[in-house]
Chain A
Amino acid sequence: AQTVTQSQPEMSVQEAETVTLSCTYDTSESNYYLFWYKQPPSRQMILVIRQEAYKQQNATENRFSVNFQKAAKSFSLKISDSQLGDTAMYFCAFFNAGNMLTFGGGTRLMVKP
């Protein structure tokens, strides 16, 4: 079974600075997908970024980028130029088969003014 681990329960960053959230996973599969979801306080989870394991190039979406290290089974999220609206719970998730996501425990990020 796949497992996803987020080792940082809480993090904080000053506005305009850069922060990196960690995620590791365990799988014996070679082809899979990884996701980062953001859940603002009292709001829906929304997809931030997606990475396909067979693609070596790291995904980027505006201020959000990932560092995907397949051999190390690591998938970190970098948020550049942090904004107050980035304050949220961030979940790393894994997909390889079926129609379901396996989530990590989440990292609560606080962006301070």
Chain B
Amino acid sequence: EPEVTQTPSHQVTQMGQEVILRCVPISNHLYFYWYRQILGQKVEFLVSFYNNEISEKSEIFDDQFSVERPDGSNFTLKIRSTKLEDSAMYFCASSEERLPYNEQFFGPGTRLTVL
């Protein structure tokens, strides 16, 4: 069964460094998403992406964040200058169509630790 995959599973970085989190969505899906979950807190929406552009973003998704689909398979989240408060689990998701008519399939997450 097709799955969303994410790499790496755990990333440790120093404050101020740039990180790129990678996701491979399910191949025939057209909509892509990033969510994050700070330890002990709720899963929060960051951004949705369709047709090579951002379709929605939350207040969390400020100028230090960017997303890209550099080729036909990868979907990346870049954090330009990491802060301590960026430490969280980051989940990628994809769907064939827009919500709510289609299920969002989630990846296993990347745990980002900023020191």
- Interface, chain A (partner B; CB < 8 A): 4, 33, 37, 42-47, 50, 52, 91, 95, 98-106
Which B residues from 28 to 47 make CB contacts under 8 A with A? 31, 33, 35, 41-45
The one of A43, A52, A102, A104 that contacts B45, using a Cβ cutoff of 8 Å: A102
Rounded to whole Å, the gap between the CB of B31 and the closest CB of chain A is 6
Contact A46 B106 (CB under 8 A): yes
Contact B3 A44 (CB under 8 A): yes
Q: How large is the interface on B (under 10, 10 to 19, 20 to 34, 35 or more residues)?
A: 20 to 34
A104 to B43, CA, bound (A): 7
> What per-residue 1/0 map shows which CB atoms of B98-115 lie under 8 Å from chain A?
111001111110000000
Q: Is B55 in contact with chain A by the CB < 8 A criterion?
A: yes
- Interface, chain B (partner A; CB < 8 A): 3-4, 31, 33, 35, 41-45, 48, 50, 55-56, 58, 91, 98-100, 103-108
Closest to B95 in A: A99
- Cβ contacts under 8 Å, A106 to chain B: 42-43
A100 to B41, CA, bound (A): 18
Q: A33-B100, A95-B99, A105-B42 are in contact. Are A100 and B91 (CB under 8 A)?
A: no
Closest to B55 in A: A99
* Most A Cβ at <10 Å: residue of B43, B91, B105, B106: B43
